[in-house]
Amino acid sequence: MDSEWLNIFEKRPRDRSSKECEVLFDSLRKWKSLDRFSVGFLRRLSAFAYLEELGDGVTLYRKGDRGTSWYLILSGEIAAIPYRDQNEANATSVSILDRGSTFGESVLDDAPRKMTAVTRGPCLLLRVEKKDFIQLWERNKNDLTGTANGNPNVAHFQQHSKSVDSMTPVSSPVHNFSRSVSSKHLILQNLQNSERRGSASSSRTPSRSNSTESSSTQSTVLPEVTNDQAFASSILHMLLLESGNSIVRDRNVQGRIVKRTLIGSDLVDWLLSISSAFQNRSHACSLLQVLLEEGVLENITSDAVQFQDRGVLYKFTQDSYLDDFPDEVPLPSREEIREAETRKDDAISILLKKAPDAVLRAILRKHPEERTQEDVEAIYEELVHISSLSHLSTSIKRELASVIAFESHPKPGTILFQQGDEGTSWYVILKGSVNVVIHGKGVVNMLKEGEDFGQLALVNNAPRAATIVTREQGCHFLRVDKDDFNRILRDVEANTVRLQEHGKDVLVLEKVPPSSGKPSMYKYTVMAGVPSKMLEHLLETRLDSRNLETREEIIPGKSSIGSTLTTDYFLDDYLLTYILFMPTPQLISELEKNYRIDSSSQDREFVIANKSRVVQFVNQWVATIRDPVFDEKCTHEFFENLLVWLKEDSEALLALEEELEMIEHIVALLNDFRAQQSPNKRKLGQTWTLPSGGQSVTLFSKHEGEEDRQRAIRSTDDIIFRVYCSDHTYCTLRLPISTSAEAIKNSASDKLGLKHSDLVLGEVRSTGEKIIIPNSDIAIPTGLSINGRLFISPREHIDAMTPLPDQEGPSDGTGSELEMFSTRELAYFITLADWEHFNAVHEYELLHHVCRDVKPKRIKSNLDIFLRRFNELQFWIVTEICLAGTLGRRVTLLRKFIKLAAYCKEYQNLNAFFAIVMGLTNVAVSRLTQSWERVPSKLRKLLAEFESLCDPSRNHRSYRIAVSKLQSPIIPFMPLLIKDMTFTNDGNSTVQEASGLINFEKMHLLAQTLRTLRFCRGRQLLIQPPTPRSEMEVQNYLRNLRVIDNQRILTGLSQRLEPKRQ
């Protein structure tokens, strides 16, 4: 609080500028006594209110007086006496109003005061005149209804009056104010003292939520407005006023003139015209939703909670006080406009960061009947990434999306429900955390974002087993009320069909609701089942034997036959994930059974249809999975047999000609695969090497006649690598990639002259960490960490395995070499290399990485190398900066790496973008304050924007929203895809415990993530190369990065460069 605040309050409302109202608003928000009021109310209060300081024993008005003002107590106490003369009162008849209480609402109906109001000790009050309060009441009824009820001391007062607000001042506002204020210094002192008292008392006891547990009014609580948001809102307001009458105009609304109104669509047009930061109109609307939610912008046409891009009237809340002033009001000065123009981009950036959450909250605040299909889809996408809901089926999540409500509590210590209460709602924590309290035990647990509570009482129809209390400010919850909860359970069961054999469930189906107003192509989707029955259902319902319409993918080299895109992913899900629940030999056995269904009792058309469906399945199997289908030897015989059977059946049935062409093509692909795997070809084939200096796996020799480029690593490829002993002697091995750890151990022990008994193979990392590798693991060399080395040792001498000297990484940076390369050139070649690595990763590699118990084991070398590349780029950034000996070189590198991140983002190489940003924000780099001070502010702001995009909060919500707006080709942030699949795998069992059926909902969720890879690689990467100046030098440099991956060493280097300031 300062004298500026007081000077503004001394002015009449009509004389206050918009900037001054903003200053008052910022000050009012800091008062604990005003916490429960919405942002919009406080903004209007800053435009209308007068500040009054009164001494002890001052009579504001007497019983029977006519009201002229309404009051809000900032500090101190007011005695409410039910007599005209306060001397008539006794102790039992006096009620006390303290800070945060309001009184004086009788001005609304011009009724006489029913109480006499007298100060008890020094008081600070905000006073609003009658005509202004009527406007406040009309627009803020939720804030003002029952505001005194939060005070336990007013109960007796309410017994004597229908309204808590029944008081009027004796004298005029201006006279009262000037008479009671002795000095500004005294007011400032009282303000500071009362604020300290408010802070101390606000955390004494938990407060009960003001509404019942299931009340929808909780969703009207607005989020806290930060100083940055207030600044950004003020900037946009000034720029709007400067734009003139073409946008901001006075309009007649229901018979009265409302000043400075705006039409929603005009406001969107204006935003698009002043900034290129918006991708489309919806993006601009999301920014305006932030202003609407904060109460900066108000809808004067309706009560809609979502901003509408059409002819709806809006106005800035801080302009509300102008409506009663006929005179012209001052516009922002030229100096203010110039400052606003300068800081416009910062303001828009601040608000856009808040936009996604604001839009989601607006959707959640809608009544379920008002939600559109797009709204429900947006909520569903949020529910998919909530850990406590991962076990629910897709249909249940969609049902929840249509009814789930939003509830927020700004204060810590708010009680959501008490132990013993009736259970009426189920909650999911969207933001913040809560304590679980049990009588006699205290706090027994803490629940945080993504967790849920309250479901048990609904399921068992039992009282609450614990009390739930918010732990921090601004807690947000998703709430499902009991009636909706029970209805969803009933509906799901009603839509579920269970097929049984011998009294046991073998297939569980769920009815698919129509989407987007169109009837679904298939009536039921599979939730769970026996593998063979799921395959049988797939063949009968998802493969059309007449027109061969299945999916859009086709076998490379084969022309499309009726490639119709469908939204039913059952076939795709099955093909991508069957290895988790059905070995390939079992799949082949079931396909043979369904193909060879010949019987004299069967109808000819039925037999042809069955055979056609099996062929179509095989066709799509090879098209979707590609080479890994041929990696399993059992498929070779099956495809050859199928070709023989088809030739016979084609002649006998005079049908299946197109199916015969499909299988002939598949067998041709099989022959090509065999030719590549022949012993003679393999001798001339592809070999990889793991360099001894810690660099990534590189191509040592390629297949004869192949282009000199990166290609996928196959299980039959060879790799050259070293295995070390404890004394740092080593042997060099050349073995197939798929060689097991046990075979590597045996080969190394033979070469090193070690006994085979009780040896272990392990990785020793640069930090000294030792990881023992199980004998059954395969593709060991490609899975090593940066600077990791393979060691072999007797089990009793594991402790003797120590890192090699060169595992610490380089001692000199390459800054001088880096300066020779342009930043765009580096980004271009990093992206080309990453695209090659990314394209080489097969979907099955992610499954084997996440679901480690899948058999038979397959190599995941391409994924391992791609993930290793991410870590390599990240530590390369940190290494180069920490090895830069001079301040000037560090500043140069920081500038270069920020620009490098920007170029990678431009090329949609988000994997490298994340790696670079995480390198720049590594603690060893971020602590270099002297270096960062020299970096231009523009680049520092750019990095701050990048950090917000990489923000992991809300399950990387910012990144997910940004990616959803991109088109392929994209190199995605691979660690997040791995996290999503791990989340799905760990949160859902493959086999349902109760029924023993395969949980196909889990397969669908895993396949959804795998389809992301297919989408990102949907188009070829075609980016314009920079002017080539040193192509070979750049590529060679990037292939041979040397990095330090030991955080302890990096932090030590950083501290030596810039010692910690005392």
Of 431, 287, 420, 268, the C-alpha closest to 351 is: 287
State yes or no: pLDDT of 216 exceeds 80.
no
> How does residue 86 score in pLDDT terms, banded at 50, 70 and 90?
low
State yes or no: pLDDT of 180 exceeds 50.
no
User: Is the torsion defined by CA of 638, 644, 647, 651 positive or negative?
Assistant: negative
Query: If you search the block for the tokens 């590798």, which residue do you land on?
Result: 773
Q: 266 burial class (0-12, 13-18, 19+ CB within 10 angstroms)?
A: middle
Answer yes or no: pTM beyond 0.75: no
Mean pLDDT, the chain, integer: 81
Higher-confidence residue: 245 or 653? 653
**Per-residue pLDDT at 245:** 64
Report the pLDDT averaged over residues 418-433: 91
> How does residue 550 score in pLDDT terms, banded at 50, 70 and 90?
very low
Residues in the chain: 1062
- In this structure, of 66-75, 546-555, 710-719, 851-860, the range with the lowest mean pLDDT score is 546-555
For 413-423, write each residue's pLDDT tens digit: 999 999 999 98
**Per-residue pLDDT at 227:** 61
Cα–Cα distance between 784 and 803 in angstroms, integer?
14
Report the pLDDT averaged over residues 397-405: 90
Secondary structure element (H or E) that encloses residue 345, with its range: helix 344-365
Cα–Cα distance between 76 and 559 in angstroms, integer?
84
**Per-residue pLDDT at 695:** 75
**Per-residue pLDDT at 178:** 29
What would the two tokens of residue 513 be? 């609701």
**Per-residue pLDDT at 1013:** 93
Q: In percent, how much of the chain has pLDDT > 70? A: 82
**Per-residue pLDDT at 934:** 95
State yes or no: pLDDT of 172 exceeds 80.
no
Query: If you search the block for the tokens 């001079």, which residue do you land on?
Result: 886
For 922-952, write each residue's pLDDT tens digit: 999 999 999 999 999 999 989 988 998 998 8
Secondary structure element (H or E) that encloses residue 239, with its range: helix 227-242
Report the pLDDT averaged over residues 377-382: 87
Around Cβ 771, how many Cβ atoms within 10 Å?
11
What would the two tokens of residue 428 be? 């999911």
Cβ proximity of 765 and 785 under 8 Å? yes
- In this structure, of 519-523, 652-656, 712-716, the range with the lowest mean pLDDT score is 519-523
Query: Secondary structure of 855-872 in the HEC alphabet?
Result: CCCCCCHHHHHHHHHHHH
Strand partners, 103: 71
> How does residue 393 score in pLDDT terms, banded at 50, 70 and 90?
confident
What would the two tokens of residue 71 be? 């009051």
753: left (phi over 0), alpha (psi -120 to 50) or beta: left
Parallel/antiparallel/unpaired status of strands 687-689 and 718-724: parallel
- In this structure, of 220-224, 345-349, 440-444, 875-879, the range with the lowest mean pLDDT score is 220-224
Cβ proximity of 784 and 763 under 8 Å? yes
State yes or no: pLDDT of 110 exceeds 50.
yes
State yes or no: pLDDT of 217 exceeds 60.
no
Q: In percent, how much of the chain has pLDDT > 90? A: 40
Strands (E), 29-139: 50-54, 59-61, 69-81, 95-97, 102-103, 116-129
> How does residue 514 score in pLDDT terms, banded at 50, 70 and 90?
low
Around Cβ 824, how many Cβ atoms within 10 Å?
18
What would the two tokens of residue 217 be? 């009014």
State yes or no: pLDDT of 764 exceeds 80.
yes
